[in-house]
Amino acid sequence: MDHSIINRRNLILGTAAAAAALAPSSYALAAQAGPGTWQPAALGTKLTLTRMASPAWLLAMWKEIDDKTFGAGFDCFATDAVCNLGVADWHGREAIRANLRAFIDKGMTTNHDVVEYWDAGPFKVFHGIVTMRFDDPAIKTARPTMTHFFYMDQADPAKVAFWKGSVGPTEF
């Protein structure tokens, strides 16, 4: 069987399984709770995802990263947002901006392509492919898939309060 073929059904099922596995535990977050801390309890236990066109805030954020400008596109984050990308644990909009800049500026240029975007109100799912072109010609261009979960701020639903995501692997 060829495991390199991924159809839409398997992709959606895999994304849903990843969402369930990565969704923050209300007990774990409640233990860390403090003023301004994101709480998942408002999400309840069931959400309906609707496939939609990617919103302007998401496209603006990726554009800031791809253009290496790291400006207003990051205003989609609440000031106290938390970001967990792989092993990263960044707290605050400015920390997210600074750490992504430091990572991207280490010798690569990226281009983020949207494959699909799903919206469930306070919870959003993004799937895409990032093209990573390295400054070192000895490192070949990589195009790993990415999946990101955005939990919107309860006080300001237009802002991202919690971002969990993964990219890759870039090779086996």
How far, in Å, CA of 159 to CA of 150, rounded?
9
- Please give the model's pTM, rounded to 2 decimal places: 0.76
- Stretch 59-83: mean pLDDT, rounded? 96
- Stretch 19-44: mean pLDDT, rounded? 47
- pLDDT digits 0-9 by tens, 91-136: 999 999 999 999 888 889 999 999 999 999 999 999 999 999 999 9
Candidate CATH numbers 2.60.40.10, 3.30.230.10, 3.10.450.50, 3.40.710.10; the one for domain 47-167: 3.10.450.50
List, as one string, the DSSP characters of 95-148: HHHHHHHHHHTTTEEEEEEEEEEEE-SSEEEEEEEEEEEESSTTSPPB--EEEE
pLDDT of 36 reads: 43
* Domains in the chain: boundaries: 47-167
